[in-house]
Amino acid sequence: MFSFNGQTAIVTGASSGIGRATARAFLRHGAHVVAVGRDREALAAIVADPPTRVCHVGADVTASDAPAQIVDATLAAFGRLDVLVNAAGVIATGAIESTDDEVWDRMMGINVRAPFRLMRAAFPHLERTNGNVVNVSSVNGLRSFPGVTAYCTSKAALDHLTRCAALDWASRGVRVNAVNPGVTVTNLHRRGGMAEDAYAAFLERANATHPLGRPGDPDEIASLILYLASSEASWMTGETIPIDGGRHLTCAR
């Protein structure tokens, strides 16, 4: 099993879904965790024993001062930074002709610009600890799907940001990897505007579109994130790893 005793991890998007599962997994494996999200009440539900092992930071990752706020809170609470997990993300539907500038900019702002800015702010502190970054991308970054143009493009950009940062920072001792989940049971699609009946049908269809016959669970994604962040993956960098029940292997259907 992994051990993160004495280490500190920042996890964005920690108020729900994959981010919340990841924050809790780090705590179970001994880390100090800086849980970042906009929903302060949901963040408060992430608890540790002792409570001093978790720091809740209510922040909008797209805000101009968010990177400094998050990094400063981390150093003030725990004095070091070992892992950054960029799990905050949003989705929106729409083909090119129906995607307006506002939707496009929101996808890029949250899914690409925010991770880029936080990685940049965190780098000096990760360098001191030979730390690492794990970005939460999507199978949509590896494969094209109709009707989600901005989302697919943003995740493909995040994948390439991961690879570029891995090359930039390899000689400085900082690893950068990404996970690419398939359909995972979270609030992502509901927050993106999908109605309950449509979401139920979407999950049912996922049983057919994923070769393993079901959607994923956030804890499964969190397990891979912890592996990539651990010393067990010390010779891995620049990887974008599908964890999608085989979805990326299939033709469009």
Q: Which residues are part of the catalytic machinery? A: 151
Listed in sequence order, the residues at least 6 apart from 129 whose beta carbon sits closer than 8 Å to its beta carbon are 7, 80, 81, 82
DSSP per residue, 62-108: TSTTHHHHHHHHHHHHHS---EEEE-------B-GGG--HHHHHHHH
Helices 218-229, 17-28: inter-axial angle, 10-degree rounding: 50
